[in-house]
Amino acid sequence: MRSLSILLLVLASIASGVAMAAESKIEISSPADGAKLDSMAQNKLVYNVTLGPGGDHLHVYVDGNEAGLLREMKGSFTMETLAPGNHELCLKIVNKNHTPIGVEKCVKVKAE
């Protein structure tokens, strides 16, 4: 009877773990896609991320070049000033070995 209770407890723990494993998701709340930014200012990228299975942290990219590494799942990243023109800002979820797991979010902005 006691063994059965332990078994049920273990199974319940596994089941709850599976149920709690959320899907990977990235939200960039600012800047919005297509936004116009001040090229003289240090603009902020505001994000909210759910890592999901396999994810460990985030890489930030400006025009395809890595600009930073983020370990907080919600917050903001201050970018270097952007040269006037069109730019692409991206966040990618990567694993512990810094490998992108295929979940990313990008916004296009124009610095003026």
Partner 1 sequence: MSLDSQNLAYAITQIAHNFGAVTVVGGAAVALVWREAAVQRKLAWMVLAGWLIQAVSGATFGAISYYFYAKFPDIHSIALVALKVKIVCAALGFFLAAWQLKAQPSEVLRRYVWMALCGLGVLALSSAAILRWFS
Spatial CB neighbours of 30, under 8 Å, sequence gap ≥ 6: 44, 45, 46, 76
Binding mask 35-64 for partner 1 (x = CB under 8 A): ------------------xx----x-----
99 binding partner 1? (CB under 8 A): yes
Q: At which residue do the structure tokens 């709690």 appear?
A: 20
Q: Which helix (H) or strand (E) holds 110?
A: strand 100-111
Interacting span for partner 1 (CB under 8 A) from 3-11, 28-36, 83-91, 94-102: 94-102
Residues that bind partner 1 (CB under 8 A): 53-54, 59, 65-66, 69, 92, 94-102
